Structure 1
């Protein structure tokens, strides 16, 4: 439950003297959707947050920050079948996301098992992993939790067109760098708490 976003949205709406139904009409959702956002049981995606900010005449960063704030430590996973790559890439993720729980997997089946038991905020997936495709893994992870942000990581730029058809929200080319991760974090479909991430 995200109480900070709920309270922020309710405060901004009442300051504009709008009812839930009136705000719903302006952003093209139902009144019950606004109610769910204001009771903290649901969060809008980044595009809808931008639309809300426009209607409420407020800085979009206020709503984005409230949506990102969470009492839970975000789970971030990286899946690559090469142990050597994981051992060098995971410290870079830890540098950028110091307050996230970061877990690496060489087997897609283990990543699926983890995602079933834990809410994964961000999954960074290699595309070519032996007999398993990262594209298929992406679809399975999104079936478990549609709000997982999936970013593909590969050495092959030609995969980028196939990657976009899976519901992923980003694409990185190897080798992995902190700067590239930071750029992707700004474009996540479902923002989450970045903790003390370095700029």
Structure 2
């Protein structure tokens, strides 16, 4: 549940003097959809968030930042067939996002099984992993959950052009560096606010 977004939307709607039904009409959705957004049980997609910002006459960043809920249920997965690099990169992610649940996998299929059972907010994927590439895994993860944000990790910068041909949000060259990860997270389609981070 995204209570932060729900509260933000409800307050903005009330400030504009709109009922849920009126907002629904302006958004071309039914009242039940608005109700789900305001209860935190559903989150609108990017196109709807942009439309909400227009209808409510607010900066879209206000709504986007509200989608990045700060809580213990924030889930990150990392997939790399090199176990040494995987362990090192996990330490970096634990430092950058100390309140996140981080799961690491050396086999892509295990990551897919995990994603089917657990909401995955962010995935760091190696590109070259044998039979299943990071590009293939990205498509699989987004099919399971279109809201998953994917960042590719690779030792080969030349893959960057192919990476942008997918629905990934970022591309990083291994090994990870703490400050580079912090910068990358701020560039994501829906940026994450990390608890304890200085603004």
Say yes or no: TM over 0.5: yes
Q: Structure 2-normalised TM-score?
A: 0.84
Higher relative contact order (CA closer than 8 Å, sequence separation 6+): 1
Q: Which deviations, in whole Å up to 9, do the C-alpha atoms of 1:120-162 show, x marking residues without a partner?
A: 1110000001222111111111111111111111122232232
1:111: Cα distance to partner? 0.9
Label 1:118 to 1:192 Cα distance change in 2 as closer, same or farther (>3 A). farther
CA distance in structure 1 between the aligned counterparts of 2:23 and 2:36, rounded to whole angstroms: 13
Label 1:29 to 1:177 Cα distance change in 2 as closer, same or farther (>3 A). farther
Matched residue, 1:52 = 52
Matched residue, 1:30 = 29
Q: Which deviations, in whole Å up to 9, do the C-alpha atoms of 1:145-197 show, x marking residues without a partner?
A: 11111111112223223223332111112231112211221232345563334
Q: 2:70–2:195: 8 Å Cα contact kept in structure 1? A: no
Structure 1 segments unaligned to the other structure (5+ residues): none
1:102: Cα distance to partner? 1.1
Q: 2:72–2:100: 8 Å Cα contact kept in structure 1? A: no
- 1:139 has 2:142 as partner: no
Q: 1:96–1:198: 8 Å Cα contact kept in structure 2? A: no
Across the aligned residues of Structure 1 and Structure 2, the Cα RMSD in angstroms comes to: 2.6
Classify the secondary structure of the residue corresponding to 1:129: coil
Matched residue, 1:127 = 127
Matches within 5 A, 1:107-122: 107-122=107-122
Matches within 5 A, 1:1-199: 1-20=1-20, 22-23=22-23, 29-32=28-31, 33-45=33-45, 48-49=48-49, 52-53=52-53, 55-58=55-58, 60=60, 62-191=62-191, 194-197=194-197
Q: Which deviations, in whole Å up to 9, do the C-alpha atoms of 1:42-82 show, x marking residues without a partner?
A: 22345654553454344555434432225542111111111
Classify the secondary structure of the residue corresponding to 2:52: helix
CA distance in structure 2 between the aligned counterparts of 1:25 and 1:174, rounded to whole angstroms: 48
CA distance in structure 2 between the aligned counterparts of 1:181 and 1:152, rounded to whole angstroms: 12
Label 1:16 to 1:147 Cα distance change in 2 as closer, same or farther (>3 A). same
Structure 2 segments unaligned to the other structure (5+ residues): none
1:25: Cα distance to partner? 6.1
